[in-house]
Amino acid sequence: MLTYNYYGHACFQLDDGKIKILVDPFLTGNPMAAIDEKDVAADYILVTHAHGDHIGDAPNIAVRTDATVIGIPELMEFGGQRVKTIGMNLGGTVKTEFGFVRMVPALHSSGIAGGVACGYVIGVGGKVIYFAGDTALFSDMKLIGERDKIDYALLPIGGHYTMDPIDAAKAVEFLGAANVIPVHYGTWDVIKQNPEDLLKLVKGAKVHIVKPGQSITL
């Protein structure tokens, strides 16, 4: 059984009952955070880019939990030597005890010199999860869906900095995903959106609206 725990903004945890994968742990200073960074558990931490609302508490959590942080090499250097890291790059795949992590492109600024923003395809618990990270819509999402059969796509819908519900619905079409979970909206007024708009726009996939602090079985 694979559990999706949503902690607010773009932070979530995937738990297969043995391994906990924490993604973009922006908790301190997050008005929507459903858990304190001192309480969250992690064996692996995936970071999409270096903006504060994504890298967030990753170094502190990694030190406390002894988790391994995965991300762009430039960002791993930014994290310093206090934590275990796996630096990888776009198109690369890392095999792990839970399955695999594949790094895929995202169209967004990186927040650190020399780095790039990314998304991830995560194979865990018998499911394939695509997390787009912060990104605009781009047609090569079709290639991501062709490479892996996406069970769940986690897509930003906040607009202003990322896709909005209209573009996210098109992303679902490109990906051929069976299920979609909207993230990265409502944290501040500038990215205020109604996730019900995505529900109305998406065809051929099931939309799961998960609120901060809620969990669902994938």
Residue 201 lies in a domain: yes
Whether 21 is in a domain gets the answer yes
Asked whether residue 13 is domain-assigned, the answer is: yes
Note whether 202 and 157 are within 8 A (CB).
no
- Which CATH number do you get for residue 80? 3.60.15.10
Q: How far apart are CA 17 and CA 22, in angstroms?
A: 14
What does the DSSP 8-state code read for residue 32?
A: T
215 assigned to some structural domain: no
- The pLDDT value recorded for residue 205 is 97
Domain-embedded: residue 98:
yes
Contact between residue 38 and residue 143 where contact means Cβ atoms under 8 Å apart: no
Q: Is residue 38 part of a domain?
A: yes
Domain containing 77 equals 3-210
In this prediction the pTM is: 0.96
Tell me if 37 is assigned to some domain.
yes
Would you write out the chain's pLDDT as a tens digit for each of its 218 residues? 999 999 999 999 999 999 999 999 999 999 999 999 999 999 999 999 999 999 999 999 999 999 999 999 998 875 566 789 999 999 999 999 999 999 999 999 999 888 899 999 999 999 999 999 999 999 999 999 999 999 999 999 999 999 999 999 999 999 999 999 999 999 999 999 999 999 999 999 999 999 999 999 99
Specify the number of domains making up the chain: 1
Residue 218: inside a domain: no
